[in-house]
């Protein structure tokens, strides 16, 4: 049986193929495509019982309908988030949907810190200067993070890993979540209301999933509460931040730095080479004009460790489907699966 995977990156493909070979020993053929799954590309899945999707694929009701009509019975999402999949439609169509519920939290937490330090110490600007043999320090002054306050929004596995690093820097810890993490409490974290966290934190890092309740969690009100010299980092999902409100905040000369590994309209842009095209997304283009903003292309998870774990879990989810098992990663179990 041939299984098709969409949006497969060059560095990801060998890890995914290796995991499939070890699990299935050639019993199933894996076809890796670099194109993303959407309404236009859904016909390429005709005849494939299992489809492997990624975070920037669009699996709305129409795409799922076309997949179902083409013979697809299982969607294996190669990510933790699944806000791009219409689960209700999948259930009605008799599709099984699974995800990767967890992988190395250190990959994302460490990258979030890389963003925070890069914007705090103006590392990108400094690197550009030294490449041109300009060794001045004008405009590159940062500040110590030791003794300052880190606000961790979402204290699950990734948020807790971020908090441990912050603790190592000697920072005071504030947390916001629907429940308190004992590991974070052991670090001395104080759980507070969202408004207080945004008002007191010198560094705010986002680690909550994108849900209806968290959409635009960082809106004009939250940004208005933040210190003028605070740093904001988002390595979770772009929709957590109201981009228009962020642009207005930056235009007002506020925030010392912003590190974004995600963007709310990243689908169709991130993971692609747009260097020879006109950037039609005006909001993204405007973000790039601020010298205190660093945007990366959803790469926080992209370590050999994490991608390898994602591949292994994806394969296990597919194996569960073929065996008729319901695993911990199953989001929707079709009665006909």
- Pair 78, 199 in one domain: no
- Alpha helix (H) residue ranges in the chain: 13-24, 61-69, 87-93, 105-120, 123-131, 157-168, 182-186, 194-200, 220-225, 243-251, 282-289, 304-323
116 and 258 together in one domain: yes
Tell me the C-alpha distance between 5 and 35, whole Å.
9
91 shares its domain with 187:
no
- Whether residues 152 and 200 share a domain: the answer is yes
| Beta strand segments in 80-158, E | 96-98, 149-153
Does residue 69 lie in a domain region? yes
Query: What is the chain's Cα-based Rg?
Result: 21
Question: Do 123 and 90 sit in the same domain of this protein?
Answer: no
In a domain, 337, yes or no: no
Give the C-alpha distances (Å, rounded to integers) separating 1 from 64, 317, 326.
20, 16, 21
- Prediction pTM value: 0.91
Residue 293's DSSP bridge partners are 258
Contact criterion met (CB below 8 Å) for 241 and 216:
yes
CB 98 within 8 A of CB 72: no
Statement to judge: residues 82 and 125 lie in one domain: no
Give 175's strand partners.
Answer: 152, 191
Task: Tell which residue, 268, 278, 313, has the closest CA to residue 37.
Answer: 268
**Residues annotated catalytic, as ranges:** 237, 266, 298
Are 132 and 231 within one domain?
yes
Residues 164, 22 share a domain = no
Q: Residue 261 belongs to what domain range?
A: 105-295
pLDDT, tens digit only, all 337 positions of the chain: 899 999 999 999 999 999 999 999 989 999 999 999 999 999 999 999 999 999 889 999 999 999 999 999 999 999 998 989 999 999 999 999 999 999 999 999 999 999 999 999 999 999 999 999 999 999 999 999 999 999 999 999 999 999 999 999 999 999 999 999 999 999 999 999 999 999 999 999 999 999 999 999 999 999 999 999 999 999 999 999 999 999 999 999 999 999 999 999 998 899 999 999 999 999 999 999 999 999 999 999 999 999 999 999 999 999 999 999 998 999 998 764 3
The number of domains in the chain is 2
Q: How far apart are CA 284 and CA 273, in angstroms?
A: 15
Do 234 and 117 share a structural domain? yes
Q: Residue 232's domain is classified under what CATH number?
A: 3.40.50.720
* Residues paired with 174 in a beta bridge: 151, 190
Domain presence at residue 207: yes
């Amino acid at each position: 049986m041939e299984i098709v995977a969409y949006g497969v990156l060059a560095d990801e493909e060998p890890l995914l193929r290796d995991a499939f070979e070890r699990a299935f020993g050639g019993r199933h053929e894996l076809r890796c495509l670099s194109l993303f799954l959407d309404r236009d590309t859904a016909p390429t899945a005709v005849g494939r019982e299992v489809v492997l999707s990624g975070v920037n694929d669009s699996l709305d009701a129409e795409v799922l309908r076309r997949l179902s009509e083409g013979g697809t019975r299982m969607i294996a999402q190669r990510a933790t988030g699944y806000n791009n999949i219409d689960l209700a439609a999948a259930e009605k169509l008799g599709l099984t949907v699974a995800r990767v519920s967890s992988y190395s939290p250190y990959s994302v937490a460490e990258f979030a810190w890389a963003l925070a330090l890069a914007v705090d110490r103006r590392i990108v600007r400094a690197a550009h200067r030294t490449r041109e043999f300009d060794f001045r320090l004008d405009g590159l002054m940062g500040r110590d993070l030791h003794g300052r306050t880190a606000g961790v929004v979402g204290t699950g596995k990734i948020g807790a890993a971020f908090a441990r690093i912050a603790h190592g820097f000697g920072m005071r810890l504030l947390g916001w979540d629907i429940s308190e993490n004992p590991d974070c409490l052991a670090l001395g974290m104080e759980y507070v209301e969202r408004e207080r966290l945004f008002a007191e934190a010198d560094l705010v890092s986002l680690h909550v999933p994108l849900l209806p309740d968290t959409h635009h969690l960082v809106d004009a009100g939250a940004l208005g509460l933040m210190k003028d010299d605070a740093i904001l980092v988002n390595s979770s999902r772009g929709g957590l931040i109201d981009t228009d409100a962020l642009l207005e905040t930056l235009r007002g000369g506020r925030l010392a730095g912003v590190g974004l590994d995600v963007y709310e309209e990243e689908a169709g842009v991130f993971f692609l080479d747009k260097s020879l095209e006109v950037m039609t997304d005006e909001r993204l283009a405007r973000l790039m004009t601020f010298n205190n903003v660093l945007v990366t292309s959803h790469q926080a998870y992209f370590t050999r460790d994490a991608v390898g774990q994602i591949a292994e879990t994806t394969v296990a989810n597919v194996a569960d489907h073929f065996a008729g098992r319901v695993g911990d990663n199953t989001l929707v179990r079709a009665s006909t699966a």
